[in-house]
Amino acid sequence: MSAQPLRIGIHDISFATAHQVLDLSEIAEHSGVDVGKFYVGIGQSEMSMPAADEDIVTMGAEAAARILDRHGAEGIRTLLFATESGIDQSKSAGVFVHGLLGMGENCRVVELKQACYSATAALQFALGVVARDPREKVLVIASDVARYALDSSGEPTQGAAAVAFLVTVDPGLVEIEPVTGLHTDDIHDFWRPNHLSTALVDGKYSLAAYLRSLEGAWNEYQSRGGVPFEAIDRFCYHQPFTKMAVKAHDRLNTIVGSPLDRDQRRAQIEASLHINRRTGNSYTASIYAGLLSLLNDDGTGDGAADGADLAGRRIGFFSYGSGSVSEFFTGVVQPGYRALLRADEDAAVLDDRVSIDYARYRALHESVDEVRGEDILTAAETSGPFRFAGITDQMRQYQRRG
Ligand code: HMG
């Protein structure tokens, strides 16, 4: 008699973002663009903007702390930190988080990079670790600050956020299914050379590359025995801006010859768009912020969708990272998932951000390039639980409050 296959997936998920926010009307006014282009055309209303004492480590630690507060660090022997806005060329940002959270020393910690895709690589690697030894728990942190040049076309799609999730057997939230479809293509649609703090992008080409990659990953997913389109209830896409998910889902419907009308297609993705619309692009974290947004939707509150109970329903995920690597895979939402969510806390994370005006945003943006390797002390500008305190003897210093 063969053993039952292990059920492995996401047991808990948590979210953090920067503590300041810029409404995109500020950028529209500065650049003389109709704000409808941002609110409707690209589907973005706000962007999170890190202060000088915030970065991928402070956001990642804040998201992960919520998970450790609930489950403890016991049994977590792997911490995977996915990012494309790394803060050191050698040391993993995850090691800073491991220290800030006081995790045990018997732990492997590593940083992963492939544009926005690497958190999905981390998820797949985590599933492998747990499959090999079901006693293992893996903490995945995806954290990024998306930066484009001032006055560039990518500027309104900037943003920042972190998502942390715990991968275990018998997951409480989403069991990840084994079939996946992959697509890799050596292109330059979006990239960031080592000497730049802002990304370079060929905007229109990047949209076409994303959609072509979706087709490639979907086709491989099907050829490897994936479920048909009709067996998937909700879809969760990488969201550089939320309209991209709308375009992607329309394209997938065309690829499969689906008869769904515009409203039916929209209903399959709407609930996944709420968080990203307000944080802006968070690169590696974006698709998992989409998952949290989808799970949190109970039909009430700001930005609510249909509030459907998703227990037993299948989600299709499309993870895309420029350059490019992508993956299509699926997961099934678990009974009782709602009891494990922190929807009010997540709403407060967004609502409690401090609004800044255009002048403050521009000064913060420009200040990033003023730091040239000398020691600095950062002012305590935000009230988050973790802060980047500065650089001493070339070493980054972080503090935990309280
Ligand atoms: P653009 O060229 O300035 O904008 O920037 P546009 O002229 O294409 O307009 C955008 C939309 O707004 C259009 O709608 C307009 O019609 C509409 P669409 O035709 O696309 O449906 N519009 C309006 N709507 C309502 N009221 C109005 C109005 N005016 C215009 N008044 C672009 C767009 C996406 C190119 C730019 O934001 C950009 O370069 N973004 C960065 C690149 C990006 O996000 N690419 C996405 C795919 S690549 C990816 O996802 C990976 C990435 O996350 C990085 C990684 O992997 O690490 C970026």
Q: What is the dihedral of CA 100, 110, 337, 249, to 10 degrees?
A: 130
Find the mean pLDDT for residues 202-216. Answer: 98
pLDDT band with cut points at 50, 70 and 90 for residue 1: low
Q: Which two tokens stand for residue 10?
A: 């996401």
Strand partners, 76: 137
Does residue 137 contact residue 167 with C-beta atoms inside 8 Å? Answer: yes
Clarify whether 84 is annotated catalytic: yes
Q: How far apart are CA 144 and CA 141, in angstroms?
A: 10
- List pLDDT tens digits, range 2-24: 678 899 999 999 999 999 999 99
Q: How many CA atoms lie within 13 A of 155 on its CB side?
A: 20
Of 11, 183, 238, 274, the active-site residue reads: 238
Atom 44 in ligand 1: which residue has the minimum CA distance?
240
Percent above pLDDT 70 for the chain: 100
Q: Residue 43 Cα, ligand 1 centroid: separation in angstroms? A: 9
**CA-based Rg of the chain, rounded to a whole angstrom?**
20
Catalytic residue among 19, 54, 111, 116: 116
Task: Among 120-129, 182-191, 366-375, name the one with the lowest average pLDDT.
Answer: 366-375
Domains along the chain with CATH numbers: 8-400 (3.40.47.10)
Query: For position 371, what pLDDT does the model report?
Result: 72
pLDDT band at 303 (very low <50, low <70, confident <90, very high): confident
Interval 175-204 mean pLDDT:
97
| Annotation says 29 is catalytic | no
> Is the distance from CB of 164 to CB of 13 less than 8 angstroms?
yes
pLDDT of residue 312: 98
Backbone angles phi, psi at 286, to 5 degrees: -55, -45
The partner residues of 130 in beta bridges, in order of sequence, read: none
pLDDT tens digit sequence for 107-130: 999 999 999 999 999 999 999 999
Stretch 160-172: mean pLDDT, rounded?
Answer: 98
Q: Give residue 42 CA to ligand 1 midpoint distance, Å.
A: 5
Q: What is the pTM of this model?
A: 0.98
Q: Atom 12 in ligand 1: which residue has the minimum CA distance?
A: 41
Q: Are 117 and 326 in contact (CB under 8 A)?
A: yes
Q: How far apart are CA 339 and CA 343, in angstroms?
A: 10
Residue 188 beta carbon below 6 angstroms from any ligand 1 atom = no
> Is-cis flag, bond preceding 324, omega within 30?
yes
Residues 227-254: tens digit of each pLDDT = 999 999 999 999 999 999 999 999 999 9
Q: Residue 154: CB within 6 Å of ligand 1?
A: yes
pLDDT in tens, 257-298: 999 999 999 999 999 999 999 999 999 999 999 999 999 999
pLDDT more than 90, % of the chain: 94
| Residue 140 pLDDT | 99
- As a whole number of angstroms, the distance between CA 317 and CA 319 comes to 6
Number of H helices, E strands in the chain: 12, 17
In the prediction, which pLDDT does 2 show? 62
Alpha-carbon distance of 220 to 317, in angstroms, equals 14
Mean pLDDT of the chain: 96
Is 357 in contact with 367 (CB distance < 8 Å)?
no
Cα separation of 170 and 5, whole Å? 11
pLDDT range class, residue 141, cuts 50, 70, 90: very high
Distance CA 388, CA 378 (A): 7
CA–centroid distance, 244 to ligand 1, in Å, is 8
Ligand 1 pocket test: which of 190, 205, 237, 243 has the largest number of ligand atoms within 8 Å of its C-beta?
A: 190
Ligand 1: centre distance to CA 93 (Å): 30
The count of C-alpha atoms lying within 13 angstroms of the C-alpha of 244, restricted to the half-sphere facing its C-beta, is: 28
Q: Is 238 tagged catalytic?
A: yes
Q: How far is the C-alpha of 299 from the C-alpha of 306, rounded, in Å?
A: 5
DSSP state of 343: H
Please tell me the distance from the alpha carbon of residue 321 to that of residue 123, in angstroms, as a whole number: 14
Cβ of residue 153 lying under 6 Å from some atom of ligand 1: yes
Centre of ligand 1 from the C-alpha of residue 375, in Å: 38
